[in-house]
Amino acid sequence: MSRRLARFALSLYRWGGVALYPIVGPYLALRVAKGKEERSRRRERYGFASVDRPAGPLVWFHAASVGETNAVLPLIKEVRRRGIAVLLTTGTITSAKIVRDRLGNDVIHQYVPLDLKPAISRFLEYWHPDLAIMAESEIWPMTILELSKRHIPQVLVNGRISDRSFPRWKRRMSIADAIFENFALVIAQSELDAERFRTLGALPVMVSGNLKVDTDGPPADAAVLKAYLDQIKGRRTWAAISTFEGEEAAAGNVHRVLKERTPGLLTIIVPRHPERSDAIADMLTARGLNVARRTLNDPLTPETDIFLGDTIGEMGLYLRMTEIAFVGRSLFAEGGQNPLEPAMLGCAILSGGNVQNFREAYQQLARNGSAKMVRDVEMLAKGVHYLLSNDEMRKQMIEAGQETVQEMRGALRATVKGLEPYINPLTVKARLHPRQTS
């Protein structure tokens, strides 16, 4: 497709909405998933604001879900420290709860509008952001085009392009170029991501490292943690976190295999999507395992086999209850999940091999001896047993993980430096016109 034709197709999409969907496929899909929105706030998806816009400069941050939200929290706090108002959009109930718990009233939260012209236009006409900052891989053509039409600078931070997405974009280079050229700046996680963005037409591109490394470890309620630790009373534990379908059954099988070798073993399972917890609990119970659920405030008795962490925003609690963590979406699903949080909170890390979305983090953790990869459930069971039985090796892996995290820090400083040409003028404007609520 020629560049001129690509621009024509994008203009049709701008005015006609869904006509371009068959061409660009999943990139133009609607950002509403069943079970991931609040009914009372559904109008926000169509660009209708539910709160007043504050006076003065405003930066719009968008983070799709929990991982992206956690990654940009320190950056948001830096912008707020300068007196600039922040509008933060997310796409899921889970991420909305994270915003509420971690930022409170310090930012304005809205659900992200659909990537369709009426919704985006309504949203932008109301909020009039001075700068738009998107996190990681949020590439939505209508949003990008409408921001560009209004001459609103847009920056992609902590940017990454997955192994699956990159060839799809390359097959449509003209469209990719017509979209990516609208970014005023792309700040990529790695040199590989940066090169991919440049190939697709983004300029300028700089590398910051991964913002997730510069976040604090997820918090935990001290009283709740103490209560559970008192109930465990020194039992051996391990956790399977951010699990996807099939990985909970694998964790249950590992528990059954190791229970005889490790009397009193407690397995903690934290599914990535808590709405699946009823089915997970039924599956584990049918296999003869005694399941306690966090949402039901079930006590952890000596008979408890599985502690099902079926809550939102309590990863810090579960990771502080163990020193061994298998990180999911890596054995029976693809992409992997964030291994940095367990490393920060003192866990030796196990993972399947499908970790493309966190390749660089895993490479550094594995290189330093803090993460080990497993091929299948049998190898996972052997890995968990080895770490349960070898205190010295487990301690070495934990220390190596915490040292690796310290070595990887610096992405926040680099990102702020890259954003200074866009943020500094807003800082001056905010000081000249102190924020008021209209």
DSSP-assigned letter for residue 266 = E
Q: What angle do CA 414, 418, 419 make, to 5 degrees?
A: 120
Residues 6+ positions from 416 with CB-CB distance below 8 Å: 75, 78, 423
Half-sphere exposure of 110 (CA within 13 A, CB side): 25
Locate the DSSP E strands across 197-253: 205-207, 237-243
- Residue carrying structure tokens 């971690």: 102
Question: Could you give the CA distance from residue 217 to residue 345 in angstroms, rounded to a whole number?
Answer: 6
Q: Residue 178 has which token pair?
A: 């017509």
Closest CA to 126 of 140, 146, 154, 105: 146
Catalytic annotation on 248? no
Question: Could you give the CA distance from residue 402 to residue 323 in angstroms, rounded to a whole number?
Answer: 12
Cis ω for the linkage preceding 204 (within 30 of 0): yes
Buried b / exposed e along 246-272 (16+ C-beta atoms within 10 A): ebbbbbbbbbbbbeeebeebbbbbbbb
Of the residues 68, 136, 138, 314, only one is catalytic, namely 68
Question: Could you give the CA distance from residue 386 to residue 372 in angstroms, rounded to a whole number?
Answer: 12
DSSP string over 130-193: SEEEEETT---HHHHHHHHHTT--EEEEEE---TTHHHHHHTTHHHHHHHHTT-SEEEESSHHH
Order of strands, sheet of 85-90, starting from the edge strand that comes earlier in the sequence: 108-111, 85-90, 58-62, 131-135, 154-159, 185-188, 205-207
Question: Could you give the CA distance from residue 88 to residue 109 in angstroms, rounded to a whole number?
Answer: 5
Annotated catalytic residues are 68
